[in-house]
Structure 1
């Protein structure tokens, strides 16, 4: 009985040692495996003497903001875009996986009627997609400017969202006195309307009650 116990102990010890060695080898392999290079974007275009290279390792916020301008596009877009004279400056954004280009887009932050994105059919690595025009995000110009593209600052553009056109807030709409006056005027008109409705309903009910009373006599 003692011999069988010793044999079983030796077998279990061998299994445990083999398992520990396997785990150690796997951990060493994982540690030795190179980490995937960080993603990034390259931007070229008007006013840029050299490509603007942004990498997630050093500028994650800028990279994510630029990629956010193009990562929502659908499979198909419009076949025709604005006229060339209405497009304004073009900025080509190349999305990278490490140092390998994966996607390319043309951004037009100053296009008439609002920012535009054009996705060429030919993509890096001979990959092809459906070419198309898309309405760009309203904050495209500011996103590119903050990332380093030489564009004028826009304070009247809404952040985020997708749409066609710059949405400008008129200066006079920021006057609190005017807003209060308009609000009070709307409340007065609403109150008068409610009073008129109540008077009309009351007169109608009184008329019906009078008619019923006469018929029941």
Structure 2
């Protein structure tokens, strides 16, 4: 009987360890959101929306995504005067053909490119409406995608999507990446702690059961 109890203990321990590993894997999978697959561009001067996909043109897709994927946080500037914005382009980021995020880009705004993040997003989520200084490469990147904008080769350094923004991003939100990193680390630590506690309680319960049966 004692050997049978020990065998059950070993099997239960292996099961708990497998469960813990599966839980950690699932937690890490949830922490990594699906990657965007395409970007569409709409504008009053475009007869139909432009589409740039990661599969067909990875370089241009990366450049287009680089114009909007950093537009987080409370924003950097107040709302400009509408007359000073120039043509507007609506950029929508899609994940597997499903609209995820949308932004308004103004490459010819007075004082440099501007970007606007609407409060309501196409995936149903809500955020705060915010204005940002855009990248200096915005005009050339949109033109490479097919927008009828005047050539501005002086705004490019290092190829499509290179160059510098009007205000360096690191100087504007220096603590944002750290906050995100600490939040993810806290999530992982809590998940690991929960798994360890579950395994410990399981082993304690099994040890108590074996002790009672072997008396």
Equivalent residue pairs, number: 129
Distance 1:114 1:136 in 2: 7
TM superposition score normalised by structure 1: 0.56
- Within 5 Å, give how 1:57-68 maps onto structure 2: 57-68=55-66
Offset, 1:158 = 4.5
Shift of 1:161: 1.5
1:38 Cα deviation after fit:
6.9
Instruction: Write the distance in 2 (CA, Å) between the matches of 1:119 and 1:139.
Output: 18
Question: In the alignment, which residue of structure 2 is the partner of 1:162?
Answer: 165
Counterpart among 90, 112, 116 of residue 92 in structure 1 = 90
Gaps of 5+ in 1: 1-35, 165-217
Determine the C-alpha separation between the residues in 2 that align with 1:158 and 1:54: 20
Name the CA distance, whole Å, in 1 between partners of 2:94 and 2:48.
17
Distance in 2 between residues matched to 1:101 and 1:146, nearest whole Å: 22
Conservation of the 8 A alpha-carbon contact between 2:115 and 2:132: yes
Gaps of 5+ in 2: 1-33, 158-162, 168-215
* Paired residues for 1:186-205 under 5 Å: none
TM-score for both structures, normalised by structure 2 = 0.56
- 1:125 alignment partner, SS class: coil
CA distance in 2 between counterparts of 1:109 and 1:42 reads 16
SS at match of 1:143: helix
Secondary structure, aligned partner of 2:131: strand
| More moved, 95-104 vs 51-60 | 51-60
Query: Per-residue displacement from partner, 1:124-147 (whole Å, max 9, x unpaired)?
Result: 122111210000000100011011
